[in-house]
Amino acid sequence: MSKRAKKNEQAAADEANDNGTEPATKKGKKAKEPEAPILYEDPPDKLTSKDGRAANMKITSWNVDGLRAWVKKKGLDWVRQEDPDVLCLQETKCAEKSLPADITSMPEYPHKYWAGSEDKEGYSGVAMLCKTEPIKVSYGIGEFLSWSILKRQHFDI
C-alpha cells in the first residue's frame, strides 16, 4: 500500500472516530463470471445449404499434436460420435510404421492415407481417413512429391 493510500485510510478512520461511526469499508471487485463451456455441436443453420438441401458430406479437420497421445486421450471416441465422412489429421508426429492399431484398424474408414517427414521420423505428418475412396490423392506440395525432392531439385543440399 502506498504512503498516500495509508494516509487517506488513516484520515478516514480518524474522521469516523470523531463522528462516532464506523469507517466505510471499500467494496471489493466482483469476480468474473465463468464463461459458458464450449459445446462441440453443429449449429442448426449449418445442417442445410442456403437453398434448404440437407447436408450430405461431413469433413472434419483436427490438429492432433501427436497421434498416439490423441488416441490415448479418447480422440477416436469423439470421431466415432461425430462420424465424419472424411477425417483430416494434422501434426500426427508419427511414422507410418508406428501408427497405433486403434486407428489403422478402423473399419469405418477403409481408405486411409498417411504422409510424414522422410528426413525426421516422428516430425509433423498428416493423415486423411475416408469412408469412400477419393477420386485422386496427391502427396506433397503441388508437383513436388516431397520436401526431400524439392530440396534436391531447387537447392544445393
Rounded Cα distance between 6 and 4, Å, is 5
Domain boundaries, the chain: 59-154
Residue recorded with cell 516422428: 122
User: How far from 58 is each of 54, 63, 65, 88, 89, CA to CA, in Å?
Assistant: 11, 17, 22, 11, 14
Top CATH class of 59-154 equals: alpha beta
Rg, Å, the chain Cα set: 29
- The larger pLDDT score, comparing residue 8 to residue 131, is at 131
Task: Evaluate whether 91 touches 66 at the Cβ level (below 8 Å).
Answer: yes
Beta pairing, strands 86-90 & 59-63 = parallel
| Number of residues in the chain | 157
63 assigned to a ligand binding site: yes
91 assigned to a ligand binding site: yes
Does this model's pTM top 0.75? My answer is no
- The larger pLDDT score, comparing residue 48 to residue 108, is at 108
Looking at 19-23, 124-128, 138-142, which range is the least confident one? Answer: 19-23
- The larger pLDDT score, comparing residue 123 to residue 17, is at 123
- The larger pLDDT score, comparing residue 115 to residue 10, is at 115
Model pLDDT for residues 23-74, shown as the tens digit of each residue: 556 666 776 766 666 555 655 556 777 787 887 888 999 999 999 999 999 9
- Mean pLDDT, the chain, rounded, equals 79
Task: Evaluate whether 112 touches 121 at the Cβ level (below 8 Å).
Answer: no
Rounded Cα distance between 113 and 157, Å, is 28
Task: Evaluate whether 75 touches 92 at the Cβ level (below 8 Å).
Answer: no
